Amino acid sequence: MLFNEIIGQEKVKEKLISTVKDGRISHAQIFLGNEGSGNLAIALAYAQYVSCSNRKEKDSCGQCPSCKKYQKLIHPDLHFVFPVVRNKNFKKPVSNDFLKEWREITIENPYFSAKKWHKKIDANNLKPTIYTSESNEIIKKLNLKTFEADYKVMIIWQIETMNVAGANKLLKILEEPPEKTLFLLISENSERILKTILSRTQLIKVPKIEKLDLKKKLKETFDFEKEEIDDIIHLSNGNYQKALELIENKEDNKILLDLFTNLMRFSYSKKIIEITEWVNEIAKIGREKQKQFLDYALRLIRENFILNIAKEEKKLIFLTKEEKIFSERFCTFININNVFAINKEFNLAHFHISSNANNKIVFLDLAIKLMNLLKIK
Tens of pLDDT, residue by residue, the chain (377 residues): 999 999 999 999 999 999 999 989 999 999 999 999 999 999 999 999 999 999 999 999 999 999 999 999 999 999 999 999 988 778 888 999 999 999 999 999 999 999 899 999 988 778 899 988 888 888 888 887 788 888 899 999 999 998 888 888 888 888 888 888 899 999 998 888 888 888 889 999 999 999 999 999 998 888 777 777 888 898 888 999 999 988 887 778 889 999 999 999 999 999 999 999 999 999 999 888 999 899 999 999 999 999 988 876 667 778 888 888 899 899 999 999 999 999 999 999 999 998 889 999 999 999 999 999 999 88
What are phi and psi for residue 351, nearest 5 degrees? -60, -45
CA–CA distance, 356 with 365 (Å, rounded to integer) = 15
Is residue 16 packed enough to be buried (19+ CB in 10 Å), middle (13-18) or exposed (0-12)?
A: buried
CA 352 to chain centre: 24
Domain ranges of the chain: 3-207, 213-243, 249-373
pLDDT > 70: percent of the chain: 99
Evaluate whether 3-207 and 249-373 have a shared fold: no
What's the pLDDT score for residue 36? 94
For the chain, state the CA radius of gyration: 24
Q: Which CATH number fits domain 249-373: 2.60.40, 3.40.50, 3.40.630, 1.20.272?
A: 1.20.272
The identity of residue 77, as a single letter, is: D
DSSP assignment string, 47-107: HHHHH-SS--SSS--S-SHHHHHHHTT--TTEEEE--B---SS-SS--GGGGHHHHHHHHH
What's the pLDDT score for residue 139? 84
Is residue 143 packed enough to be buried (19+ CB in 10 Å), middle (13-18) or exposed (0-12)?
A: exposed
Q: Residue 67: name the closest of 149, 141, 145, 9 by CA.
A: 149
Question: Three-state DSSP class for 202?
Answer: strand
Is the pTM above the cut of 0.85? Answer: no
CATH of domain 3-207: 3.40.50.300
357 contacts 328 by C-beta, under 8 angstroms? no
